[in-house]
């Protein structure tokens, strides 16, 4: 398992170098299979954050997880709050989020941007989006992107 992950990540890093693009700095353990022995080589490969899934707290097949506890959870062994499974069905639970847009940056240049994440329970999604628009959270809606657009 560990050797396969290391080999696959090295292949990705090699392709990134070949095409002149940055190497990944995050990693998700396939099938949530991980071990603490992987931490040193993940660090060596430049990985800053790795998602381990919901095990051992919950059985993998359930897809359940726990919330990250900053300061307690190791950044290379971050738990997953939930790991979707096909048998979860078509749950009516929209995700409302903002994908901030910003200009390209030069290497080493920083820019502060702001986005948002909103959880809504109910069936009146359009009403909720109207409420958020009135609060000026959804300032970009209506500027060429119809509500409900899927990208």
pLDDT digit string, tens, across residues 28-79: 887 777 888 888 999 999 999 888 877 778 777 777 777 777 788 888 888 8
**Whether residue 52 sits in one domain with residue 6:** yes
Strand residues in the chain grouped as ranges (E): 26-28, 49-53, 78-79, 96-97, 117-118
Single out the residue of 34, 114, 18, 128 nearest to residue 79, CA to CA: 34
**Whether residue 66 sits in one domain with residue 41:** yes
Structurally, the chain folds into a number of domains equal to 2
Q: What's the Cα-to-Cα distance from 92 to each of 12, 95, 119, 125, 148, rounded to whole Å?
A: 36, 10, 12, 10, 14
Query: pLDDT at position 116, please?
Result: 63
Rounded to two decimals, what is the model's pTM? Answer: 0.52
**Whether residue 70 sits in one domain with residue 38:** yes
Residue where a domain stops, chosen among 84, 112, 141: 84
Q: What is the DSSP letter of 62?
A: G
Query: What range defines the domain where residue 143 resides?
Result: 91-151
């Amino acid at each position: 398992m560990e050797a396969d992950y290391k080999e696959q990540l090295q292949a990705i890093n090699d392709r990134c170098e070949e095409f002149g693009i940055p190497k990944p700095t995050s990693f998700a353990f396939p099938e949530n299979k991980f071990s603490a022995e992987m931490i040193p080589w993940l660090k060596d490969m430049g990985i800053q954050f790795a998602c381990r899934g919901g095990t051992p707290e919950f059985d993998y097949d359930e897809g359940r997880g726990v919330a990250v506890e900053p300061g307690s959870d190791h950044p290379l062994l971050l738990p997953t709050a939930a790991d979707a499974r096909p048998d979860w069905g078509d749950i009516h639970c929209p995700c409302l989020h903002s994908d901030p847009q910003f200009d390209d940056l030069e290497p080493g240049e920083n820019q502060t941007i702001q986005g948002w994440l909103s959880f809504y329970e109910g069936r009146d999604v359009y009403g909720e989006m109207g409420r958020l628009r009135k609060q000026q959270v959804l300032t970009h809606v209506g500027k060429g992107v119809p509500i409900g657009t899927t990208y």
